[in-house]
Amino acid sequence: MKESPIETIPEPLLAGIRRANNLALFAHTHPDGDALGSLFGLARVLRSMGKNAVCFLEAPVSHLYDFLPASEDICTDQDGLRLFLSRAGSDIAGVALDCGDADRLGAWKDDILTIEPLLVIDHHLAHRAFGTLRWVEPGCSSTGEMVYELVQALGASLDYHSAFNLYVAICTDTGSFRYECTRPRTLRIAAELLDKGVRPEEVGKYLYDNFTRERLKLMELVLATITLTADGQIAFMHVSAEMLRQSGASLQDVEGFIDFPRSLRSVKIVALIKEGKEGQIAVSLRAKGECDVSAVARGFDGGGHRNAAGFRLQGKSIDEVRGQISEVLHRALP
């Protein structure tokens, strides 16, 4: 792959952004730092180009990310989206960021898929095509990195707040520049963002020293569930609805907990089983090195990257899910 993928951005995708005066921006459901940072960063840039850019989110921004210099133009209501679409008429482009497939668009998927053109910008290896025009770059660490390249290609300028958002996006998806997706280009882009005034220690403070007491309590309960199998190579961990109730924390607070079992020296694969609403179980998988958990996730109709993937199941208990995936994970070991 070339140092910068800038020349691989499809020209019609750039033209679609340049042409439209109204831009409806979307990220994946339960957005993480990459999704939100990319969304807010791009929205600011588009507005600096004189465009009417609105970020549509089906839920308010998680308290884990409420420090992001978000745009004033966030809409969290579906009628607002429909009104925006009807007012914009044909002078519109939709942009879906960090979404590996159409289902990840969430509850408003059907409305979003009517937008023409719908431009898709994503870096998931297991990307399943949707939308009108796609720019998918699995070699990029994060969608934040891609948005940076996009801004260059558009000839637009990044202000401090956009740079801050993109830096958070890249930090989140690279595990603060530790994962193998971190390339020389990733660090060069990070350096450009520091030149815009971003301070790594400030971002670090918000990302890592930002716990509530409820979140720490939940962490205590969740870490106590860690079990190891296959000579310590596979770690299971879970979070139940009861733990959420007991701690007063929310499912959003679980983000990042999976890194603790992953940090065990012997561990090659981690499975975090989360009990959600209405009998839904979400499974997050992490792997080190050559283990490919995206293949495992695809087997359960999920997706992701080689070392970070996930899927959902319905109507099963935590124990049943652990039993069901245990053998598949053993087979994914090197």
The residues binding Mn ion (CB under 5 A) are: 34, 98, 142-143, 173
How many alpha carbons fall within 13 Å on the CB side of residue 283? 32
Smallest gap from residue 317 Cβ to Mn ion (A)? 30
- Which residue has the CB atom at the shortest distance from Mn ion? 34
Smallest gap from residue 45 Cβ to Mn ion (A)? 18
Which is nearer to Mn ion, 34 or 253 (by Cβ)? 34
Which is nearer to Mn ion, 186 or 233 (by Cβ)? 186
Smallest gap from residue 28 Cβ to Mn ion (A)? 8
Which is nearer to Mn ion, 34 or 292 (by Cβ)? 34
The end-to-end CA distance of the chain, in Å, is 26
Smallest gap from residue 64 Cβ to Mn ion (A)? 15
Which is nearer to Mn ion, 33 or 117 (by Cβ)? 33
Smallest gap from residue 216 Cβ to Mn ion (A)? 26
Which is nearer to Mn ion, 94 or 303 (by Cβ)? 303
